[in-house]
Amino acid sequence: MKKVKLGEVLSLKKGKKATVLAEQTTLSQRYIQIDDLRNNNNLKFTESLNMPEALPDDILIAWDGANAGTIGCGLSGAVGSTITVLKKNERYKEKIISDYLGVFLESKSQYLRDHSTGATIPHLNKNILLNLQLELLGIEEQENIICILNTIKRLITKRKLQLDELNLLVKSRFNEMFILSDFSLKRLGELVDEVRYGTSLPATLNGKYGYLRMNNITEGGQLNIQNLKHIDIPEEDLEKYVVRKGDVLFNRTNSLELVGKTCIYELDYDMVIAGYIIRIRTKNNILNPRYLSEFLNFPSTKKFLRNIAKGAVNQANINAKELQNISIPLPPLALQNEFADFVAQVDKSQFACEIAIKVWRNSLKFSII
């Protein structure tokens, strides 16, 4: 099957910065920014002149920043400065369906990010993009691929919704079991064996231990090790910074919105925590770590944590002493354990959803390579 370089198929036009309007006027047009490549939830407009424009048949690609490589199709309007418009050349306008080109580029987005330039802010590499080899299929074959991949995308969306529902189920169960009950309040420091900061040592290439940083704790209270760094640490210091199954990890420094993110470490192998994380080891005969993690992630607790955090909006901090002074409702241990068992069952369902999403994403990635 014939392959062509993208440089033969399309031309590039970089977007421009414009004055943004929140509402449409008679002289304005839609202003497309990176968030618009994902959804139409927050339309923006501009009256700025001489703007690069996208038509529905063009492909849009995020060129700069953490979201570089994100693809958008079927959009029209003025294009923002962090986006590049990909326009099909006249020779290929009738030979390549834009949606086929879009799913091809989606399958290459990680490759493009891996080969981006810029130490602080990544920028896609034009030569890398234009040298990609696209399989030139017939129109009917392209349509079949688009149909299959759209089906896979719908399945992924369905599983993501199930994950969201399972997360809500856990919070609902926590609320039902604990929040409306009149349990005695205890100072957290009385219920833990240890509260300790992580290390300030830098990550090392091919380090012995996984290195957990604040980005490895999700806003929803999960441990995410997809972009895991590694570290070497002197063995005599390991016990100070190691995390083991059952430890609770608390993000003590972050933006005001994210400070206080908490998760429970449930892996069977050791890792090391960075300095912006506090390791909490509970007295297991009094306080179940799963109950503690969910309590610290509960919306009312998060609001309280934001109120006691010190520092600037982008660098809010809660130290170990302040954390230990928090009052926590203490239900009977049997009730805490019942909740932990419930969460374990939900976790199994979540894991099955995540595996399905991973398999289908791999199908997307390799379907047209």
Residues sharing a CB contact under 8 Å with residue 217, sequence separation 6 or more, in sequence order: 223, 224, 249, 251, 261, 262, 263, 277
Query: Is 166 among the domain residues?
Result: no
Mean pLDDT on 186-211: 95
Q: Please tell me the predicted confidence (pLDDT) of residue 82.
A: 94
Q: What angle do CA 298, 324, 310 make, to 5 degrees?
A: 75
Statement to judge: residues 94 and 127 lie in one domain:
yes
Domain housing 201: 184-330
* CATH code for the domain in which residue 324 is found: 3.90.220.20
What is the reported pLDDT for 269? 94
pTM: 0.67
Measure the CA dihedral 64/70/73/77, to 10°.
-30
How confident is the model at residue 128, as a pLDDT? Answer: 96
211-214 long-range Cβ contacts below 8 angstroms, 24+ apart: 211/271, 211/272, 211/273, 211/274, 212/243, 212/249, 212/271, 212/272, 212/273, 212/274, 212/277, 213/274, 213/276, 213/277, 214/251, 214/253, 214/254, 214/258, 214/261, 214/274, 214/276, 214/277
pLDDT value of position 154 = 85
- Greatest extent of the chain over all pairs of C-alpha atoms, in Å: 75
Task: Please indicate, yes or no, whether residues 86 and 148 belong to a single structural domain of this protein.
Answer: no
Tokens of 241: 């910074």
Q: What is each CA distance from 281 to 188, 225, 249, in whole angstroms?
A: 11, 21, 9
Please tell me whether residues 196 and 285 are part of one structural domain: yes
Query: Same domain, yes or no, for 279 and 337?
Result: no
The average confidence (pLDDT) of the chain is 91
Residue 338 pLDDT greater than 60, yes or no: yes
Q: Encode pLDDT of 252-286 as tens digits.
A: 999 988 999 999 999 999 999 999 999 999 999 99
Residue 352 has pLDDT above 70, yes or no: yes
Percent pLDDT > 70 in the chain is 97
Total domain count, the chain? 3
Q: What is the pLDDT of residue 54?
A: 94
- 314-334 confidence digits (pLDDT tens): 789 999 999 999 999 999 999
Q: Are residues 307 and 348 in the same domain?
A: no
